[in-house]
């Protein structure tokens, strides 16, 4: 994977072909080498022991873990082998630990972690009311929604957040008769009107980057509307141009709701403390009536689209993690996200984009 210079340490990397095709391998190898690491592209079909010594295991195994947890024997065998290898090599830095990644495989589970976060309410942060449908019995599901304060319109999402294309297949449901399309196991989450603006926060350890994406226009409960099926990829990518994102004329409020960076940092602190991932992303929409910030989704190792110098920040963070684990004081143990070393910058934000499609690099979350 790299020129014939010997590098003392190695990063073993595995990700799906789908993700791998989007990766700029040349740039990643350059960043690894500049930090004194070889980059080894691991093969899950071969024993890791036969693929060279690694010091860091960097992965996005979400699809394989999800398949294993759903009973896929081949995937289960792979995950067992990976976990056995890592337990035989406790000095390998894993980014991120499989048990932490598992937290984000189940939407109901991680929504519950967010909902239970007591600090959010007073900071104007929330996760929309949600409920899980264990069966497709509409009467039972209406009762479950009532008990949990979930109100139409709702977005129906697969409970399992990764592992197949269907994990991103969403359904907007406007009334009780629309619940007939919900296919359990699934969660329903109250829809938050947010003027079709999605804020994606990409996190690498203590650093984050925010970008705006198209989202869904404002919707209201209605007995007349049939469910709307969509996939996230067709509505919320940077280049998406879905009619679902075009605000209705009477919704053109002209008021721009500004993302509050302090709220973003609060969410990052909670994710780092309660979920403990180095590589994560989350989606925020701003309630257009209250201005409160709704965290509607958290992702493992997302795209890091437009994250400036992502690979450099990744390697810095890997080295930071190794340094901290060697000094045996984990970030999560003391519950604080500390300042990090490196090119210390003021705790400010560097506005690196125009105000419309703004992108803001946040450094040093304290």
Ligand X SMILES: O=P(O)(O)O[C@H]1[C@H](O)[C@H](O)[C@H](OP(=O)(O)O)[C@@H](OP(=O)(O)O)[C@@H]1O
**Interface of this chain with ligand ATP, residues 180 to 209, rule: CB under 6 A:** 189, 191-192, 194, 198
Task: List binding-site positions for ATP.
Answer: 107, 157, 189-200, 215
Binding-site member from 162, 217, 272, 313 for ligand X (CB under 6 A): 162
Is residue 279 within 8 A of residue 95, CB to CB? The reply is yes
Q: How far apart are CA 68 and CA 65, in angstroms?
A: 5
Rounded to the nearest whole angstrom, what is the least distance from the CB of residue 168 to Mg ion in the complex? 8
What residue is closest to Mg ion based on CB?
Answer: 297
Our finding on whether 232 is near ligand ATP (CB under 6 A) is yes
The residue among 202 and 340 lying less far from ligand X, judged by its C-beta, is 202
93 binds, among ligand ATP, ligand X, Mg ion, none (CB under 5 to 8 A by kind): none
Q: How far apart are CA 51 and CA 101, in angstroms?
A: 24
* Closest residue by Cα to residue 209 from 313, 125, 355: 313
216 binds, among Mg ion, ligand ATP, ligand X, none (CB under 5 to 8 A by kind): ligand ATP
**Interface of this chain with ligand ATP, residues 104 to 123, rule: CB under 6 A:** none
Q: To which residue do tokens 């500004």 refer?
A: 258
Binding-site member from 63, 117, 132, 283 for Mg ion (CB under 5 A): 283
User: How many CB atoms lie under 10 A from the CB of residue 165?
Assistant: 9
Our finding on whether 297 is near ligand ATP (CB under 6 A) is yes
Task: List binding-site positions.
Answer: 19, 60, 107, 157, 168, 189-200, 215, 283, 297, 299, 303
Radius of gyration for the chain, computed over Cα atoms and rounded to the nearest angstrom: 21
Our finding on whether 312 is near ligand X (CB under 6 A) is no
Is residue 107 within 8 A of residue 159, CB to CB? The reply is yes
Q: How far apart are CA 167 and CA 136, in angstroms?
A: 18
Q: Which helix (H) or strand (E) holds 198?
A: strand 197-204
Rounded to the nearest whole angstrom, what is the least distance from the CB of residue 198 to Mg ion in the complex? 8
**158: which strand partners?**
186
């Amino acid at each position: 994977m790299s020129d014939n210079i010997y590098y003392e340490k190695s990063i073993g990397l595995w990700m799906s072909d789908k993700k791998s095709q989007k990766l700029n391998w040349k740039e990643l190898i350059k960043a690894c080498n500049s930090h004194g690491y070889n980059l080894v592209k691991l093969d899950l079909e071969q024993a890791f022991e036969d693929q060279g010594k690694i010091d860091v295991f960097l992965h996005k195994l979400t699809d394989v873990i999800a398949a294993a947890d759903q009973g896929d024997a081949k995937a289960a065998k792979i995950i067992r082998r990976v976990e056995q290898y890592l337990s035989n090599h406790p000095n390998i830095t894993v980014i991120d630990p499989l048990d932490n990644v598992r937290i984000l495989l189940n939407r109901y589970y991680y929504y519950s972690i967010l909902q239970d976060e007591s600090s959010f309410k007073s900071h104007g942060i929330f996760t929309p009311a949600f409920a899980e449908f264990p069966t497709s019995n509409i009467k039972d599901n209406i009762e479950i929604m009532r008990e949990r304060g979930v109100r139409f319109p709702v977005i129906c999402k697969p409970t399992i957040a990764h592992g197949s294309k269907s994990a991103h297949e969403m359904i907007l449901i406007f009334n009780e008769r629309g619940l007939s399309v919900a296919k359990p196991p699934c969660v329903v989450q109250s829809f938050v009107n947010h003027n079709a603006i999605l804020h994606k926060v990409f996190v690498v350890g203590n650093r984050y980057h925010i970008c705006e994406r198209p989202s869904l226009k404002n919707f209201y409960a209605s007995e007349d509307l049939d469910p709307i099926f969509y996939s996230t990829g067709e509505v919320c990518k940077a280049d998406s141009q879905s009619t679902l994102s075009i605000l209705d004329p009477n919704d053109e409020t002209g008021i721009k709701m500004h993302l509050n960076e302090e709220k973003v940092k609060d969410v990052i602190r909670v994710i780092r403390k309660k979920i403990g991932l180095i590589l994560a992303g989350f989606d925020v929409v701003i309630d257009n009536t209250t201005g409160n910030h709704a965290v509607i989704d958290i992702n493992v190792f997302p795209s890091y689209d437009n994250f400036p110098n992502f690979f450099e920040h990744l390697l810095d963070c890997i080295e930071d993690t190794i340094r901290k684990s060697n000094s045996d004081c984990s970030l999560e143990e003391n519950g604080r996200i500390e300042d990090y070393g490196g090119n210390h910058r003021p705790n400010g934000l560097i506005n690196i984009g125009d105000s419309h499609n703004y992108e803001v690099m946040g450094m040093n979350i304290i």
